[in-house]
Amino acid sequence: MAQAVTIEVELPSGSARLSGDWVQGGRDDTIVIAHGAGAGKNHPFLVGFADALNEEGFSTLRFNFAYVEQGRRMPGPAAHAIAAWSAVIGSARARVPSARVWAAGKSYGGRMASMAVSQGLLVDGLIYLGYPLHAPGKPEKPRAEHLPAIRVPQLFLEGTNDPFIQPLSQFDEVVATCRDARVEWVDGGGHSFEVKGRTRAASDVGADLAPVVAEFVDAAGRRTDESTEEEKA
């Protein structure tokens, strides 16, 4: 059962309150989930994704960025989203201090998480639900200059027909610049993982991504634990 929470964030324009939905699971892993630019935390895709993660035993915290709380349709400055990510990650850590914390985001939400981490936000890994490498039809303006600076594991979940990462060869070159990254493809999927000719509820599409995320978290967590043990030896 989700618990409604409120998270305080200090923005350059003043303080703001973000709403979130918290579910505590039995694992020592929390996944914080941000929405894309055009939809809030209650989009069926994200609800289905979070519900499936909860069934896997993860704690989850879905949240709204400030511009959604304020009734605006367009995101504000990146600094506002980065501040929001910092506040929400802090809230998640306070709820289960022993848990590893992973940042996941749909499109814009994931990109903002990556920018926050490149600027020093501490998380155990990043999960992109359709990374928006560039605006559709504008591959000459990639949004990737910060990605090589990220040290934590990164999972790119991508549709092969997503216009935000065409041509795929450019996307592959960007991923190759990352220190620790892997890509999982949804064959024929668009930016929201919809597949042409196949009608499915958005909640089911989101839920289908959860097992891949669980496997990524388990594998990345094992590597971290092994490195810690080696350092202690």
Domains, the chain:
3-232 (3.40.50.1820)
Q: β-pairing, 14-23 with 3-11?
A: antiparallel
Rounded CA separation 65/191 (Å): 20
77-123 pLDDT, tens per residue? 999 999 999 999 999 999 999 999 999 999 999 999 999 999 999 99
Main-chain dihedrals φ then ψ at residue 44, nearest 5 degrees: -55, -35
Contact partners, residue 127, CB within 8 Å, separation at least 6: 31, 102, 103, 104, 105, 110, 154, 155, 157, 213, 216
- pTM here is 0.94
Question: Would you place residue 229 in the very low, low, confident or very high pLDDT band (cuts 50, 70, 90)?
Answer: low
Q: Report the pLDDT value the prediction gives residue 34, as an integer from 0 to 100.
A: 98
Rounded CA separation 12/29 (Å): 31
Give the residue among 161, 119, 143, 130 at the shortest CA–CA distance from 34.
Answer: 130
Span between the terminal Cα atoms of the chain, in Å: 42
123-176 pLDDT, tens per residue? 999 999 999 999 999 999 999 999 999 999 999 999 999 999 999 999 999 999
Handedness of CA 221, 9, 107, 2 (dihedral sign): positive
Q: Report the pLDDT value the prediction gives residue 225, as an integer from 0 to 100.
A: 67
Please provide the average confidence, as pLDDT, over all residues in the chain.
94
**pLDDT of 70 strictly over 70:** yes
Q: Report the pLDDT value the prediction gives residue 11, as an integer from 0 to 100.
A: 86
